[in-house]
A and B are shown apart, each in its own frame.
Chain A
């Protein structure tokens, strides 16, 4: 029986080297490709008829579109729609990586801190670059809250720290949720096997099995919720870049 951590091992399926960089095709790569293929295939097949009255699949694609679009609109406004493809891609990527991780035997791409951190840094990087492009040095006003001047020496460091914490929290939230959920699932599922192997104790093995079932449902919820949280926070942070300091 495999340990609860073993499911996170990155296994090289095909060693590749690209200009001195290790670009091996791993199980993580395979699931990234699968997530992208599923997301693209879903959007393509759902919309292939471009029906005026949508069928089930097209409705799903349109609902997903409207859902993410309204998230972007609510948080940034109409001028934020230029970031809509980014937020939508992030949402779909995280969602499908999370959900593919729930497939038995699947690999959870988002349980790797390096992946979530890369996505978070992408978001924060865009926020900083676009914010400075739009507002120049005025973007720094983001760190000057609207408080009595005497409080500023206290507030500015707090604002700076909270800004710097954003990529950290954005990446760790997703990573930790996925990691902890899958460890918990594996442990309770492991209990079932251990108890069955332990003779008379096997009689209580349905208990952890029930818990595993409940946890699986919870994890599916978490998978969707974390994708949504990632998309919402991305929109909230992008709002700072678009609208600057007036909040």
Chain B
């Protein structure tokens, strides 16, 4: 197994390297270093030392440290997610409470407004009725006063007409006529009597 390893390489390389190779072959037990049994013992000893040390460092120190960091991070993420979930539920509850309060307030406001509207309407009605009644009374009073004044005025008109007529007649015929005659003549049509 050693000869095919060195054979082709010797062919492809220049003469100097072949010389080096053969010199190395002469010195060592085998001409192919990986199969040189004299190097086995120190390699195995140092492999045991170094690999054993690596295993100790990894299993005792390095890997538990990584594991704890990873576990801590996983735990933290879990905790944060749970916290976020809780906060979201809280927000939802608050939102629902707000919505409910809002709709309650709206209903209450509507009720209040309706009550107020009804109250105002009834008060207005009452006021209107009162004013109407008062107006009706005053109207009746006024009407009565007008009727009274009218009849008074009409009576005055009769007197005025009688006075005026007697004055006119006196001027026309030159002497006085009895006021009774004049009154009769003014106040109503009657058959003419010869004067």
Contacts and interface: CB of A to CB of B under 8 A. Distances in A.
Given A10-B36, A65-B70, A3 B20 contact: yes
Given A36-B51, A52-B72, A25 B65 contact: no
A12 interface: yes
A100 B61 CA distance: 24
Interface in A1-42: 1-6, 8-10, 12, 16, 18, 21-26, 28-29, 32-33, 35-36, 39-40
Contacts of A202: none
A22 B29 CA distance: 15
Contact of A18 (B35, B38, B45): B45
A124 to B, nearest CB: 15
A216 interface: no
Given A36-B53, A88-B58, A89-B55, A28 B43 contact: yes
Contact of B13 (A4, A12, A51, A86): A4
Contacts of B36: 10
Main secondary structure of the interface of B (DSSP, over half): helix
B52 to A, nearest CB: 9
Contacts of B21: 3, 5-6
B46 A32 contact: yes
A22 B33 CA distance: 17
Contacts of A26: 39, 42-43, 46
A65 B63 contact: yes
Most B-side CB within 10 Å, residue of A3, A35, A84: A3
Contact of B34 (A8, A36, A92, A187): A8
Interface residues of B, number: 51
Given A6-B20, A86-B55, A62 B9 contact: no
A93 B48 CA distance: 12
Contacts of B65: 43, 47, 50
Interface of A: 1-6, 8-10, 12, 16, 18, 21-26, 28-29, 32-33, 35-36, 39-40, 43-44, 47, 50-52, 54, 58, 61-62, 65-66, 84-86, 88-89, 92-93, 109, 111-115, 118-119, 175, 179, 183, 187, 190-191, 194, 197
Interface of B: 5-6, 9-10, 12-14, 16-18, 20-21, 24, 28, 32-36, 38-51, 53-55, 57-59, 61-63, 65-70, 72-73, 76
13 contacts: A3-B18, A3-B20, A5-B5, A5-B33, A6-B33, A24-B42, A26-B39, A39-B58, A43-B66, A47-B65, A62-B69, A62-B70, A119-B51
